[in-house]
Chains A and B, each alone.
Chain A
Amino acid sequence: MNLGISLYFTRPELILSVSGLVLLIIAAWRSDSGRLLSLAAIAALFAAGAWTVNLLTHPSLELGGDAFEGLYRMDAFGSFSKLLIYVAAAISLMIAPRFLKNMGAMRAEYPVLILFAVVGMGIMVSANDLMTLYIGLELNSLSAYVLASFARNDGRSVEAGLKYFVLGALASGILLFGMSLLYGFTGSTNFDAIGKALSGDIGMGALFGVVFVLSGLAFKISAAPFHMWTPDVYEGAPTPVTAFFASAPKVAAMALLVRVTITAFGDQTFVWQQIIMVIAIMSILIGAVGAIGQSNLKRLLAYSSINNVGFILIGLAAGTKEGIAAMLVYLSIYVAMTLGGFICLMQLRNRDGRLREDMSDIAGLSKTRPGLAAAMAIFMFSLAGIPPLFGFWGKLVVFNAAVAAGLLPLAVIGIAASVIGAFYYLKVVKVMYFDDAEDIIVSENSRTLIWTGAVLAALVSPLGYLLITPLGQITDKAASALF
C-alpha cells in the first residue's frame, strides 16, 4: 500500500528511467539511430510531463505527499519545476540532432544522457532528504559532465567536460562536507527534521554546515563567487548542450536551493538571507561587468546567465511566498529567453557551412537575416529587462517581492546594476543593427530551429503578457506548497 503510493508519486521519474534504459539498449545495437531516439526521448518526456500535470491538477493531491518515508516529496512546487525542466529538455532534444550531426558528434547516447540528467533533476526538485538530494544532484552532474565533452574530437569540448568535472567534484565535496556537518549537529538528514532542529541559536557547527551547503549549491546554479566554470564550460560544450545547461539544470538547482533554504533552514532566515543577498548582488554585478569584455557570444550568454541567476536569487532573498512565486515566474521566462538566445546562435553559419559564434560574425545580421536578427534582438532586450518585452515582467515580480519584504537597499542596488547589464545586451543589438556585415551568415535550412526560435520569441514578446494571469496562478500554487 505504502509502496504503491510511493511508486504513484514517483511515476514521472520511473517513466523516464525506464525509457532511458530501454533507449540505452536500443542505442547499444543501433548506434546511428540518434534522431529516432531523440524523438522517443521527447515522447518519454511528454509522458512524464502528462503524469506530472495529472499530479499537479488532481484535486485529491492538492497538498502533495511524501514518498518512501519522507525521502521524496511530491508537491506542486516540485511538479511545476519538473514541467519546466521537461519543456527545456524537450526543446534541447529537438534542436540538437541535426546540429550535432553537422558537427560529426551525434551519437545515440545523447538523448539517453539527457533523459538520465532529467531523472536526476526530477529527484533534485522533489528531494526532501539530504541523501536524495545528493543522489539526484550527482545523477544530473555525471550526465552533464559527459554531455559537456560530447564532441570528443573538439579540444574545447573535452576541456569543458574536464573542467566541469573537476570543479563540479570540488563543489560536490563542499556540499557533502556541509551535509555531514548538518547531519552531525541536527541528527537527521530529513529536511523537516533539520528544520525543526535548527531553531533558535544554532551554534557554530551547524552554521558552518549551512554555509557549506549553500556554497555547494551556489556552484550548481553558477552564482558568483562560484561561477568561474560557467563561461569556459558554456563556450566549450556544443551549443545545444550549452542551451540545455543554461536552462533545465538551472531550474533544478534553483528549485533545490529553494527547498533546502525554505524547508530545512526555514527558521534561520537571518542566517541564510544574508548569504543569499550577497550572492545575488555579486552575481548581478559580476555577470554584468564580466560580460562587457566578451567577444564570444556563448561566453557572453554565460555571463548573462550568471547575471540572471542573481536576479532570481533576489526573489529567494525576500524569503516570502511571493518571493518564491516570483522566482518561478522569472525562471519560466528565463528558460524561454536563454533557450531562444542559444537557438539564435545555433543558426549562425557562414558560406562554408562553418559555425560562427563571435560578436564580429553577427555584424550586419539585420540586413542579411532580418528575421533572425529581430528574434535575437527580442531575446537580448528581454534579458536586459526592458519593457515591453516579457523579461521585464520577471524582473518586476522579483523586485516587487523584495520591496514587499522590505529589502529596499537590495532592490535599489540590484536594479541599478541591471543598467550595467543592459550595456552588453545593447552591444549585441548594436553589432547586428548598426554595423556593416563582414562575414555573410547564410540562411539556415533547419525548420526546427527556425520554428522553435520563432515560438520562443513570440513568448517573450509583448504577447507574453497575456500569460501573466495563468503563470501567476500556477506559480502561486507552487510556492504555497512550501509554506
Chain B
Amino acid sequence: MSAADFPILTTLIVVPALAAILCLFLRAEGARVIALVATLFNLLLGIWLWSSFDVMGSQWQFQESVALFGPIGWKLGIDGISLMLIMLSLFLMPICIGASWRAIKERVGEYMAAFLFMEALMIGVFAAQDLMLFYIFFEAGLIPMYLIIGIWGGANRIYASYKFFLYTLLGSVLMLIAMLWMIQQAGTADIPALLNHDFPAEAQSWLWLAFFASFAVKMPMWPVHTWLPDAHVQAPTAGSVILAGVLLKMGGYGFLRFSLPMFPEASAQFIWLIFGLSMVAVVYTSLVALVQSDMKKLIAYSSVAHMAIVTVGLFAFNQQGIEGAIIVMLSHGLVSGALFLCVGVIYDRLHTREIDRYGGLSINMPKYALLFMLFTMASVGLPGTSGFVGELLSLAGVYQVSTWVTLICATGIILGAGYMLYLYRRVAFGEQKNADAAAMKDLNGRELWLLVPIAAVVLWMGVYPESFLRPIRGDVARIVERIERAAPAGDSAIRENDPAMEKFRVKTNEGGDSHEAKQGSGH
C-alpha cells in the first residue's frame, strides 16, 4: 500500500502531539516508554513515507488540504527537500528520547511531552504548504524549546533560554509582517502558488530582508549567532541534539523555500551580504572554536561555521551549490547531533564539559573513542563520510561564482580539522591525567544503540550519497531554473582581454578568423 492514499503527514504530526498530551499525565517510566514508542512508530511511518515517495513524480506529493481554521488552511505536502529534512527529524527523535532515558530524572513526563511537541512542530514546518501555517509551526517551536532549556538546562540556563527566545522571536516577527504583505499582494497564502508568483523587484528587497532577519537568526549567521553557544551549552544533551540537528535546519530550509525562489532578484542583490557574513563566520567562529575549553561550546561554534558553508552553497545559484548545501545540512544534523551525544556520554559520567578534565579516554573507553573519532572525521569532512560530500559540492558550486569566497570558506575545512583534531587529541589521546576520567566505563548497550545508527547513516551518506541526492535533485533543478534569471555572473570564466591570461593563450588569431569565416560561409 502506498502512503499516498493515507493522510500520512497529518498522522506524522498528530501521533507525537497525542503522545505528548498523554505523557503529561503519566509517571516517569510510562512517559519514557510512550515517548519512545511514539517516536519509533513515527520513524516507521517515515520510512514508509520515503519508500512511497516517487522521485520521478510530481513536485508536491502527499498533499492534504482541509479548511479547518478559516483563513489558515491546513495544507500539507512535501517535495524531496522536505522529505529529507523530515526524515532527519524522525531519525533523530528516538535517539533524543534514548539519550534522555537516564539523564533526565525530574519531571520526566513534561520533558517527554516537550520533545514530542517539538517533533510534531518540526514536521509541521517542513510539511506546511500554507504560509501562515508555516509561520505558526515555525514560531511555536520556541515554547517547548524555551521550557527544555530553562527547566532541564545547566547552571546558566535562564539567561540562555531568554536569549534563545527573544532573539529568535525578534527575527521572526518582521517576517510575519512581510508574509502578511505577500499574502495581500499575491492574493494567496498557498506556498506552491507563491513560489511561482513574481513580486516586484523593489518590494523583493524589503521582503528578502525581513525573511533574512528571521532565517539568519535561526541559521544562525554571524553576528546574530551568539544565542547558539549559550543555548547549546545550557541545554540538556538531547536538547542540543535537536537544536543542532533540526532547529538550525529551519533557517536553511527557509532560505531555500522562500528567500531564493520567491525573491530571486533580491537574493542576487544581497549576495554580497550573505557571502560576506558567511566568510567572516567561517574564519571567525572556527578560530573561536579553537580556543574553547568547553566541549559543547566548541561544537556549537563549529556549527556556526558549518552553517556558513550552507549559506554560501545555497546562494551559489547553481545545482551543485544547493545540493551540497542540503547535504551539509543533513550531514551536520547527524554529525553534530552525534558529537553532542558523545559529549553527553562522558558528561553523564563525570558531570563536566571541561576538556581538561578528560584525557586518554581511548585507553579505558575504546568503543567510545572509535565512534567519537568517526564523528570527528565526519565533522572535518574526511572523504568517505557525509561531511565530505556536502562540503565539496557546496564549495564546488560557489567556485563558479566567486573564487575568493571559495578560498576563504575552504579554510574553514582546514581550521575545522584543527579544532576538531585538537579536541579529539585532548579528550581521547595522551596520558590519563585524571583518575576519575580514567575510571570511566566504556559505552553501554543503550549508548551504542544511540550512536551506531548515526554512524551507519553518516557512512552511508559518505559512501553512497546518491540515495540522498536522488530525491532532492529534481526539486533543486526546479529552484535553479526559477532563479537562473538572476544568477550572478561567475568570476572564474576566462575573460577576453585579461592581460594576466596573456601568456596562457595560444596565438591563433588567424585561425580564429578563419574559423569564424568558415562558420559564416557555412550558413
Verify if B499 is at the interface (C-beta below 8 Å from A).
no
A396 to B68, CA, bound (A): 17
B166 touches A419 (CB 8 A): yes
Q: Which of B39-82 contact A (CB under 8 A)?
A: 68-72
> Among the listed B137, B140, B157, B181, which residue makes an inter-chain contact with A386, where contact means beta carbons less than 8 Å apart?
B140
A404 touches B184 (CB 8 A): yes
A434 to B155, CA, bound (A): 11
Interface centre among A387, A426, A434, A469 (most CB of B within 10 A): A387
A408 touches B177 (CB 8 A): yes
Binding site for A on B (CB under 8 A): 68-72, 107, 110, 132, 135-137, 139-140, 142-143, 146-147, 150-151, 157-158, 161-162, 165-166, 169-170, 173-174, 176-177, 180-181, 183-184
Q: Chain A residues near B69 (CB, 8 Å)?
A: 465-466, 468-469
Q: Chain A residues near B162 (CB, 8 Å)?
A: 423, 426, 430
Verify if A388 is at the interface (C-beta below 8 Å from B).
yes
Q: Which of A293-307 contact B (CB under 8 A)?
A: none
A415 to B162, CA, bound (A): 18
Verify if A416 is at the interface (C-beta below 8 Å from B).
yes
Q: Chain B residues near A403 (CB, 8 Å)?
A: 177, 180-181, 184
B169 touches A408 (CB 8 A): no
Q: Known: A392-B136, A396-B132. Is A472-B71 also a contact (CB below 8 A)? A: yes
> Among the listed B132, B139, B174, B180, which residue makes an inter-chain contact with A416, where contact means beta carbons less than 8 Å apart?
B174
> Among the listed B110, B158, B176, which residue makes an inter-chain contact with A396, where contact means beta carbons less than 8 Å apart?
B176
B161 touches A430 (CB 8 A): yes
Measured CB to CB, the closest approach of chain B to A323, in angstroms, equals: 13
A416 touches B170 (CB 8 A): yes
Verify if A141 is at the interface (C-beta below 8 Å from B).
no
Measured CB to CB, the closest approach of chain A to B523, in angstroms, equals: 56
A366 to B152, CA, bound (A): 13
Verify if A482 is at the interface (C-beta below 8 Å from B).
no
Residue in A closest to B177 when the chains form the complex, CB atoms: A411
Q: Chain B residues near A419 (CB, 8 Å)?
A: 166, 169-170, 173
6 contacts across the A-B interface (CB closer than 8 A) = A387-B135, A403-B184, A408-B181, A434-B150, A434-B158, A465-B72
Verify if A7 is at the interface (C-beta below 8 Å from B).
no
Q: Chain A residues near B173 (CB, 8 Å)?
A: 415-416, 418-419
Q: Size range of the interface on A?
A: 20 to 34
Measured CB to CB, the closest approach of chain B to A23, in angstroms, equals: 40
Residue in A closest to B184 when the chains form the complex, CB atoms: A404
B180 touches A400 (CB 8 A): yes
Q: Chain B residues near A399 (CB, 8 Å)?
A: 176-177, 180
Interface of A is mostly: helix
Q: Chain B residues near A472 (CB, 8 Å)?
A: 70-71
Q: Chain B residues near A423 (CB, 8 Å)?
A: 162, 166
Q: Chain B residues near A77 (CB, 8 Å)?
A: none
A411 to B177, CA, bound (A): 7
Verify if A433 is at the interface (C-beta below 8 Å from B).
yes
Apart from A404-B184, A469-B69, list 14 A-B contacts with CB within 8 A: A367-B107, A386-B139, A387-B140, A388-B136, A392-B139, A415-B177, A419-B173, A429-B146, A430-B150, A430-B162, A434-B150, A434-B151, A434-B157, A468-B69
A308 to B157, CA, bound (A): 29
Measured CB to CB, the closest approach of chain A to B218, in angstroms, equals: 15
A272 to B68, CA, bound (A): 38
Q: Chain A residues near B132 (CB, 8 Å)?
A: 396
Q: Chain B residues near A408 (CB, 8 Å)?
A: 177, 181
Interface centre among B68, B70, B137 (most CB of A within 10 A): B70
Measured CB to CB, the closest approach of chain B to A311, in angstroms, equals: 12
A422 to B165, CA, bound (A): 9
Q: Chain A residues near B161 (CB, 8 Å)?
A: 430, 434
A412 touches B136 (CB 8 A): no
Q: Chain B residues near A367 (CB, 8 Å)?
A: 107
Q: Chain A residues near B170 (CB, 8 Å)?
A: 416, 419
Contact with B along A444-471 (1 / 0, CB 8 A): 0000000000000000000001101100
B151 touches A433 (CB 8 A): yes
Q: Chain B residues near A386 (CB, 8 Å)?
A: 139-140, 142-143, 169
Verify if A342 is at the interface (C-beta below 8 Å from B).
no
Contact with B along A394-412 (1 / 0, CB 8 A): 0010011001100010011
Residue in A closest to B173 when the chains form the complex, CB atoms: A415
A387 touches B165 (CB 8 A): no
A-B residue pairs, 10 tightest by C-beta: A468-B70, A387-B136, A469-B70, A415-B173, A388-B140, A465-B69, A403-B180, A434-B150, A419-B170, A387-B139
Residue in B closest to A397 when the chains form the complex, CB atoms: B71
Q: Chain B residues near A381 (CB, 8 Å)?
A: 143
A381 to B142, CA, bound (A): 11
Residue in A closest to B67 when the chains form the complex, CB atoms: A469
Residue in B closest to A418 when the chains form the complex, CB atoms: B173
Q: Chain A residues near B135 (CB, 8 Å)?
A: 387
Q: Chain A residues near B137 (CB, 8 Å)?
A: 388
A419 to B165, CA, bound (A): 10
Measured CB to CB, the closest approach of chain A to B165, in angstroms, equals: 6
A430 to B110, CA, bound (A): 15
